[in-house]
Chains A and B, each alone.
Chain A
Amino acid sequence: MRTRPESNRQRWAIAAVAAAVLALSLVLRSAYYELVLTQVLLWAVMSLGWNILCGYGGYFSFGHAVFWGLGAYTVALAMIYLNLSPWVSIPFCAVVGAVAGAIIGFPTFRLKGHYFALAMLAYPLAMLPIFQWLGFQELALPMKRETAALYMQFEDPRVYVVLALGLMVVALSISLWVENSRFGMALTAIKQNEPAAEAAGIDTWRWKMLALMLSGAIAAVAGGLYAVVLLVLTPDTVFGMLVSAQALILALFGGVGSLWGPIIGAMVLVPLAEGLNAELGNVLPGIQGVVYGVAIIVIILCAPEGVYWRVLDRLNRNKKPEPRATVAAAPVVALLQPRGTAGGDLLVLRGIGISFGGLRALDQIDLAVPPGGLYGIIGPNGAGKTTLFNVINGFLAPGNGTAEFAGEKITGLRPNRICRRGIGRTFQVVRAFARMSVLENVIVGAYVGAPDDTAARNMALAALDRVGLSVRADAIAGGLTTRELRLMELARALAPNPRLVLLDETLAGLGHEDLDGILGVIRQIRTDGTTVLIIEHTMQAMVNLVDHFTVLDHGRLIAEGKPNDVVRDQRVIEAYLGKKWVERVAATAN
């Protein structure tokens, strides 16, 4: 997230670029150059649209041509069959793009990573034969001589430059707004660690859908204007692979996930490819594609982060690391009142069972955690401890049984909903948003309980204070030690003031001196009024920490009760150390 003066600077930069483009269009003396400039601007818009989903959200799409093509055909068909002016139909393209985004996103967001990218590829390729079959092989926009301006047909090519420029400014402003809002923060969190984002209460599905719809709308509007500029459409030129490829190559070249990346990419590559095509197109018909292909490979091999980030790193390297002002002392928040549940336990599990194929991972688990308790779940590796957490926080739906939280059923809810109800969690292997600062990591967690961004920031600072990590608030999460990462994740879970936190092996991998600090933090959490359920497989630290043990082995609950009783239980000793030990213990007892 940018600070306010920084985003003001970005606004000035947008204005400066717009002025420069206008000046350039006045200087250019040929209609052809004006056309190239228009194309640069349109492709920049397309790439900015792509960047919203793929740059900020990390979901790469190889099929953005589907939006571009739908926009172009919407404008052309509306003009030919409905006699509708592009002044009306181009804004309407935003609706077309958004609707197409929703239709596409609904099935496709079931996929992640490569699979998502590939499935996206299929959409424009499937549209291509459909439009051919419908008989729209070549569509020319009718010329309107009398009412030319009404149909966006101008003698002076500079008008198109202005129109495309206007579009680009809008697209840039939208991107800037995304970057600086909760929307952008959610997308960044999704990009860096989606399960963690979901568990931190971010409705990942909703944000991804919105990103795809916005992205599609921008691409479709650009496609619509493209139709007006080029006047003739074929399915291949608007749905073809080169269109999808171009959207991502421009962003990649300039710098994925940056405001200026798509612009830089478009300004360098579009004129280059156009120029080569114009000079050599007759002799070497595929030269444009070859240029883009070579461009991709060179970028990936030499500067995979793109020009923008490369230059930024270079500039920052020369700059002295500015001493960051220490974070303002966290505001004192009223500590939580122990919120009573209307009599009874906060978390109740009844007969929870789940199988993976033939493996019975959890079988008939019953558990009741009273408000204010500090409960431990122990068991050897593979006992089903993490699986149980995954059931409680909604990553897994149990095969049978129910979970109730504060008297309400939570089985079947998505993780972000469960988080909203007041259950936070940490992970066995820390899931940090590695490229974000510690504070930003925690802010993401705080959004659930915060009415606005300022409140979220304050809650995050308070949470960092609670775990004693305020001094590291500005550090990038990727560079933290294990102890700091654990604390940061803890702060992220605590930020929205949950009623229950699930701690998954928070003590794992820590040395003795670190251990005491974290144990103190966990005790304090309970004292402050948050119920704690913690998984461990090392008994020692736990015996002194918790007031109740539940022991799992092979998916079954084998013992529960006071820590000191449980560690003497024969079944527990057997599960941990094997039968031999049970006999030996029995022998020594005699």
Chain B
Amino acid sequence: MSFSLIDFLQALTAGILVGSAYALMCVGLGIIFGAMRVVNFAQGDFLMLGMYAAFYLTTGYGVLAFLGPYGGPIVAAFLAGPIVFAVGWLVHRFIVSRVTGSGAAASEGAGAYGQILTTLGLSLILQNGALIVFGSTPTAIRSPLSRSSWEIGDVLLNQGRCVSFLVAVVVAAAVYLFLGHTRLGKGLRAAADNSQAAIYMGIDVDRAHRLAWSLGVGITAIAGGLVASSQSFQPYTGFDFVIVMYAGVVLGGLGSILGAFWGGLLIGIVQQASTLVFPYQLQNTCIFIVFLLIIFLRPQGMFGRLSERT
């Protein structure tokens, strides 16, 4: 258990840089859970879709060609957002909306689990469908940025990660402003707070849910696009991130967007710091232990509230 101060600072900065992408994913998941109270199992797989979208944009379809190797991956990550947003929109329109929102009344039997099971089914289809379409060979987006670093003192800052840090923070801030200050965003929050009351106020709750769902998976896909340039991925990658995302969102407090951001960031730091003490392969196990500790000590998370009535 011996490591130097430099090691620690290195892990801390790496944690913040990686954590920013996690934070963005968590925000995406947080929007969906916050607005719809649906636990989305397939979130990791939409993230994976974002990775592949960014990958094919940079390598196959020429975005890279005129933006060069530096700008290409970043723009591709951005574009992955709207692409997955569109996919999410369709998925919600034809499948998810039937078990959530005003369609939820029909989902008796399996009851409240109907939603979670639907997303589990989606997850299996997306993962295994991706395996059929994209193959199982791990790929990565090659960017010269991710192979070079800035040096501050003895601490190395990976340039690719620094850029993705900036992008993540900007996107998260934009989402936060959108939810707080636009008519659409306020409607979405109202639908989240009390969907019955929102219906009476003339808000189209199903539409608000569709927006939340699509926005949630789109934002997570951008985060996926960002991560894709610094690590390799394959169709099953989504699952590695599901645990990261849920740990982050639960840590922040289920239902809180701001909490989700900080939770994700903290999970990034925990993950990187854990490599100082434990073997590299066990970093996700460490996240899981943090997850359990939260459940034990503060199940409402940092920003959440618990309420139960008899």
Binding site for B on A (CB under 8 A): 60, 62, 107-108, 110-111, 113-115, 117-119, 121-122, 125-126, 129-130, 132-133, 195, 241-242, 245, 248, 252, 256, 284-290, 292-297, 299-301, 303-306, 309, 386, 390, 395, 427-428
Output the least CB separation between A66 and chain B (Å).
12
CB of B56 within 8 Å of the partner chain: no
4 A-B pairs besides A122-B243, A286-B235, A293-B120 with CB distance below 8 A are: A130-B282, A292-B121, A297-B95, A297-B125
Q: Given known contacts A297-B118, A300-B118, A305-B110, is B125 in contact with A290 (CB within 8 Å)?
A: yes
Find out whether the CB atom of B124 lies under 8 angstroms from the CB atom of A245: yes
Q: List 23 A-B contacts (CB under 8 A).
A: A110-B295, A114-B112, A117-B113, A122-B291, A125-B242, A125-B284, A129-B282, A129-B285, A133-B282, A285-B132, A285-B136, A286-B130, A286-B235, A289-B131, A290-B125, A295-B121, A296-B120, A297-B118, A297-B121, A300-B107, A300-B114, A300-B121, A306-B109
CB of B61 within 8 Å of the partner chain: no
CB of B98 within 8 Å of the partner chain: yes
Which label, helix, strand, loop or mixed, suits the secondary structure of the A interface?
Answer: helix
Find out whether the CB atom of A62 lies under 8 angstroms from the CB atom of B120: yes
Find out whether the CB atom of B109 lies under 8 angstroms from the CB atom of A296: no
CB of B62 within 8 Å of the partner chain: no
Find out whether the CB atom of B243 lies under 8 angstroms from the CB atom of A256: no
From 87 to 144 in chain B, residues with beta carbon under 8 angstroms from any chain A beta carbon are 95, 98-99, 107-110, 112-114, 116-118, 120-132, 136
Find out whether the CB atom of A119 lies under 8 angstroms from the CB atom of B295: yes
Most buried by A among B109, B114, B120, B284: B120
- A-B CB proximity, top 4 nearest: A286-B128, A289-B128, A293-B124, A296-B121
CB of B182 within 8 Å of the partner chain: no
Find out whether the CB atom of A390 lies under 8 angstroms from the CB atom of B124: no
- Chain A hits for B239, CB < 8 A: 125, 241
Cβ contacts B234-267/A at 8 Å (1 or 0 each): 0100010011001000100010000000000000
Q: How far is the CA of A355 from the CA of B18 in the complex (A)?
A: 41
- Chain A hits for B279, CB < 8 A: 133
Q: Given known contacts A62-B120, A286-B132, A297-B121, is B284 in contact with A304 (CB within 8 Å)?
A: no
Cβ contacts B32-44/A at 8 Å (1 or 0 each): 0000000101000
Output the least CB separation between A51 and chain B (Å).
13
CB of B69 within 8 Å of the partner chain: no
CB of B200 within 8 Å of the partner chain: no
The residue of chain B having its C-beta at the shortest distance from the C-beta of A280 within the complex is: B132
CB of B201 within 8 Å of the partner chain: no
Output the least CB separation between A313 and chain B (Å).
11
Other-chain residue from B41, B110, B128 in contact with A256 (beta carbon distance below 8 A): B110
CB of B299 within 8 Å of the partner chain: yes
- Chain B hits for A395, CB < 8 A: 310
Q: How far is the CA of A553 from the CA of B39 in the complex (A)?
A: 40
- Chain B hits for A301, CB < 8 A: 95, 98-99, 118
Q: Given known contacts A129-B284, A305-B110, A386-B310, is B295 in contact with A297 (CB within 8 Å)?
A: no
- Chain B hits for A306, CB < 8 A: 109
